[in-house]
Amino acid sequence: MSSIDINIANKTFNADGRQHCAIADLQLKIELNQFVCLVGPSGCGKTTLLNIIAGLDSQFQGQITLTEQARQPQIGYVFQNPRLLPWHTVRENIELVFEQTPPAQLIDSLLAEMQLADVQAVYPQRLSLGMQRRVSIIRAFAINPDILLMDEPFVSLDAPTARQIRNSLQNLWLQRPHTVLFVTHDLREAIALADRLVFLSASPMQVVGDIAVTIDRQQRNDAEQIEQFRQHLLQHFPAINSLL
């Protein structure tokens, strides 16, 4: 388990010979075991931020501090596209992220929770996108990460499938809480999942709103509660409208 201290002074891209500033002066502290949703317009640099936290991108000025004693924190990353290895079966894809012997029982129960037990010996390209997404979520969950990064994992899924995976995600997280950074466009989805909403502006990306979600975890399935909270948010912070 780990908290995250984000302090990015500057992150620029070289686009067609011109410097494009993606992130400028971003400070954010994510508490231990907090479920944080990052909401912001597309192209504002959310994926860049996750990549920086995951250590995939080191070309920036600033510092990311992951507070984890004694060892490097484990990171589970659910990318926007599933990124499964097509030449390995569903189960092999999950087992591959373990350094030691993969825990068969845990993988079995995760596959069952995500309703993928029947297809564990199938190659990913034969599955629908929704199923591939679920595999990539299991892969991230299975290692019991200190930090879980999720980059719009439900985008382009049909509503019932998205709702089903969202419920599974909630169940899993309640069973084994860890620090989550969840990027989304969808305010209802964010309210349903998060402890805390962080609103981000278009690039250069900055924090423009930081709101705790006060709905009880048990009532998150209640669409009316979610809608009420959403209306309340939009009334009190009209600036949010321009970010969605």
Point out which span in 80-88, 189-197, 220-228, 229-237 binds another protein (CB under 8 A). Answer: 80-88
Point out which span in 26-34, 76-84, 107-115, 179-187 binds another protein (CB under 8 A). Answer: 76-84
State which residue, 84 or 190, has the beta carbon closest to another protein. 84
Residue 85 sits in the site that holds another protein (CB under 8 A)? yes
Residue 143 sits in the site that holds another protein (CB under 8 A)? yes
State which residue, 83 or 217, has the beta carbon closest to another protein. 83
Residue 79 sits in the site that holds another protein (CB under 8 A)? yes
C-beta of 233: minimal distance to another protein in Å? 32
Amino acid at 165: I
Which parts of 86-115 interact with another protein (CB under 8 A)?
Answer: 86-88, 96-97, 99
CB atoms within 10 A of CB 232: 11
Strand 61-67 vs strand 3-15: parallel, antiparallel, or unpaired?
antiparallel
Residue 55: CB partners within 8 Å, gap ≥ 6?
75
Identified binder of another protein from the candidate list 51, 168, 179, 184, rule CB under 8 A: 51
Residue 156 sits in the site that holds another protein (CB under 8 A)? no
Roughly how many angstroms between the first and final C-alpha of the chain, as a whole number?
Answer: 31
Residue 234: CB partners within 8 Å, gap ≥ 6?
240, 241
Contact between residue 182 and residue 154 where contact means Cβ atoms under 8 Å apart: no
Q: How far is CA 132 from CA 51, 93, 97, 174, 188, in A?
A: 21, 11, 16, 23, 23
Residue 83 sits in the site that holds another protein (CB under 8 A)? yes
Identified binder of another protein from the candidate list 75, 90, 150, 190, rule CB under 8 A: 75
Q: What is the dihedral of CA 208, 210, 214, 218, to 10 degrees?
A: 100
Q: Among residues 166, 159, 160, which one has the least CA distance to residue 190?
A: 166
Identified binder of another protein from the candidate list 126, 188, 217, 232, rule CB under 8 A: 126
Point out which span in 69-77, 108-116, 161-169, 208-216 binds another protein (CB under 8 A). Answer: 69-77
Give me the residues that bind another protein (CB under 8 A), please: 51, 54-56, 74-77, 79, 81, 83, 85-88, 96-97, 99, 123, 125-126, 139, 143
